[in-house]
Amino acid sequence: MIEADRYPDYPTMSRETPHWSPEGTQSARNDARGLKFAIVVARFNSGITSKLLDGAREALSKAGADAVEVFDVPGAFELPLAAKRLARGGYSGIIALGAVIRGETPHFDYVAGEAARGLQQVALECNIPVAFGVLTTDTMEQAAARAGGEYGNKGYDAAMTAIEMAQFCKAPGK
């Protein structure tokens, strides 16, 4: 059973295709034309994060993003600092990708929690969309299922979120 079947009211974005009108334009929320994105990706668990990166690149390409730059960091804990530095770079949005897989120690809780908190803090302080594409799973199998497996690709989903939020932030009065 795929995620969309299990949760019909919460479709997985990586199973969707940006919708183009007959005039050749996308709906505004999926239109990345004229937008520039930074992707910051953790190298730790690179077998998973490289697939998340592939998904994010695919989404941005399909949506017509003008520019995409990719930056590597050692792990998920380093994503917030990189995102904060990139927030000054004139990007329309930042996509943070990583994979934190639970082990036998509380290390998972610290890394996952601080990555989430730090990325949210960057978005709020710098007034820029920061999409959270960090998997926090109990097993490698769960991570693989969300990095192009049966539950879609959360890197793709994070990129689509960044596009939608970049469009939201461009709208007058928002």
Closest among 133, 3, 4 to 56, alpha carbons compared = 133
What pLDDT does 13 receive? 56
What pLDDT does 170 receive? 86
Give the domain 33-170 fold: Rossmann fold (3.40.50)
d(CA 19, CA 169): 21
Which of 19, 107, 117, 170 is the catalytic position?
107
d(CA 66, CA 60): 9
pTM score of the predicted model: 0.86
- Structural tokens at position 106: 């509380």
Whether 19 is a known active-site residue: answer no
| Domain ranges (residues) in the chain | 33-170
pLDDT along the chain (174 residues), means of 10: 45 51 57 96 98 97 96 98 97 98 91 97 97 97 96 96 94 70
Closest among 79, 140, 142 to 112, alpha carbons compared = 79
Cβ-count burial 6-44 (b if 16+ within 10 Å, e if not) = eeeeeebbbeeebeeeeeeebeeebbbeebbbbbbbbeb
Coil, helix or strand at residue 61: helix
What pLDDT does 30 receive? 86
